Amino acid sequence: MKEKFSVIVIGAGPAGTTAALTLAQRGIKDVVLLERGNYPGSKNVMGGVIFTTILNKIMPDFLEKGAPVERNIPKRCFALLTPESEIFFSFKNNEFNRPPYNNIFTVLRGKFDKWFAEEAEKAGVMLLCNSVADELIKDKNGKVIGVQTRVTEGTPKEEGQIFADVIICAEGANSTIALKEGMREKFDQHSMAIAVKEVIELPKDVIEDRFHLEGNEGVAFEYYGDAVQGLFGSGFIYTNKTNISIGIGVVINDIMNAKLNPNDILEHFKEHPCIKPLIRGGKTLEYSAHMIPEGGYKKIPKLFKDGFLLVGDAAGFISTSPLHEGSSLAMASGMMAAETVIEAIGKNDFSSVTLSSYIDKLENSFVIKDMKKYSDVPEVLKNSPELFNKWPGGLASVLTEVFTISETPKEIVEENIMNKFNYEIGFVPFIIKIVQLRNAMKSFYYGFSKKIEDFVATHW
């Protein structure tokens, strides 16, 4: 094997493959993509909806090229569960059923990552599977110049040391190289979530009838409250063609304090009276577990050093917005890292000074802008356990009062509703929390409500 390449990319997930493909498309042909699994996607887990905004940029004809998407997602639903009830919000727009399908599709990573890496290979990337990058090799000045690889299983093509002008690390959430290099802290249990997921097979027509779907459309559900036994996290269901993905994700600190295990929480979720009918008769095809970096903007590690860049989950790029965009930030950072490397190749300078333009690109894009915007959200949510364990029950009890049919006069019902709300949640704590969340999101009618606050302050 040729021992020196222009670029080595570690990890063939969305971030790494986007970086490798972008480089190859822009004429950098000696790019090697290392993947520890026996094929890309074999070890990968995602809910998963993939956001294709960036894929659309680098490969606008991805659907024509046979990208193995399961269903496009015109409908998203959010629900609060208590043991006996469900408070549900749903939004569907049929426009999202037409190209570009709002850039959101369900995928199974085993199929999608494999296809995506094959497209990178077609563009000229050398993909090496069963190959783990264990550590970086540096020159006497500390510049990263290569990686030490180890073979995992099967018949290795090559192993040993390989070298490159620059290395892009797309190892995912638990990046051991970033840790060894002191670029990120050991993840603390407050800022890392553990997620477990099952793929459950159901006949296509059953899925379409049960979830009210037409043709290739699908739906994505996010559940809070009793879905994860009142912990800081959520449950999810995504419809694929002939199976559904169901799982839960919970912040590790919470699950440890509650002395629960993720598998029991998933079983509890599946047994909920509003969930059980959705998966009835299904057969479990796959079970997987993975970590999600939830630290947000404040936990972004050092992103580059001489000859080296971090991208995707390895760099902590997951938006803490309610839409959970991990795949789009991964792909965007992969693309921007590749663009930075192309500039460095043009200058034949791989120092951190040249590579620092990666930060400018990220800061001028939605990646850092969105992460900054939601930077205070993890902290507020961490300090608001009542949102997950007490309020769902409180709201359900208020709504039960609203919807109970009885002979009680409505005047008394209204009084009961107010009393219940005040007792279960409290008007003052509710308003304080809404303001805290609005401030943390630096939005949510920020300008409008600020004007009201200012008006009240000046006139009363």
Residues near ligand FAD (CB under 6 A) are: 10-16, 34-37, 40, 43-49, 51, 132-133, 170-173, 195, 197, 247, 249, 290, 292, 312-314, 318, 324-327, 330
Q: How far is CA 51 from CA 288, 352, 426, in A?
A: 21, 30, 38
Which residues are within 8 A (CB) of 415 and not within 5 positions of it... i.e. 6 or more apart?
none
Residue number, 20 or 398, with CB nearest to ligand FAD: 20
Strand locations in 40-151 (E): 49-51, 69-81, 86-92, 104-107, 126-128, 131-138, 144-151
Least distance (Å) between residue 152 CB and ligand FAD: 9
Least distance (Å) between residue 125 CB and ligand FAD: 14
Least distance (Å) between residue 169 CB and ligand FAD: 8
Residue number, 200 or 330, with CB nearest to ligand FAD: 330
Pick from 341, 296, 249: nearest CA to 16: 341
Least distance (Å) between residue 35 CB and ligand FAD: 5
Least distance (Å) between residue 367 CB and ligand FAD: 12
Least distance (Å) between residue 286 CB and ligand FAD: 12
Instruction: Give the type of residue at 301.
Output: P
Residue number, 75 or 324, with CB nearest to ligand FAD: 324
CB atoms within 10 A of CB 226: 24
Residue number, 67 or 425, with CB nearest to ligand FAD: 67
Contacts 24+ apart (CB under 8 A), 150-156: 152/36, 152/37, 152/38, 153/38, 154/38, 154/129, 154/130, 156/130, 156/131
Joined tokens for residue 180: 């060894």
Residue number, 85 or 191, with CB nearest to ligand FAD: 191
Q: How far is CA 257 from CA 37, 90, 192, 251, 387, in A?
A: 33, 32, 14, 10, 17
Least distance (Å) between residue 161 CB and ligand FAD: 14
Answer whether 382's CB lies under 8 Å from 232's CB.
yes
Ramachandran area for residue 324 (φ above 0: left; ψ -120 to 50: alpha; else beta): left
Residue number, 48 or 282, with CB nearest to ligand FAD: 48
Residue number, 235 or 393, with CB nearest to ligand FAD: 235
CA–CA dist 109, 68 (Å, integer): 9
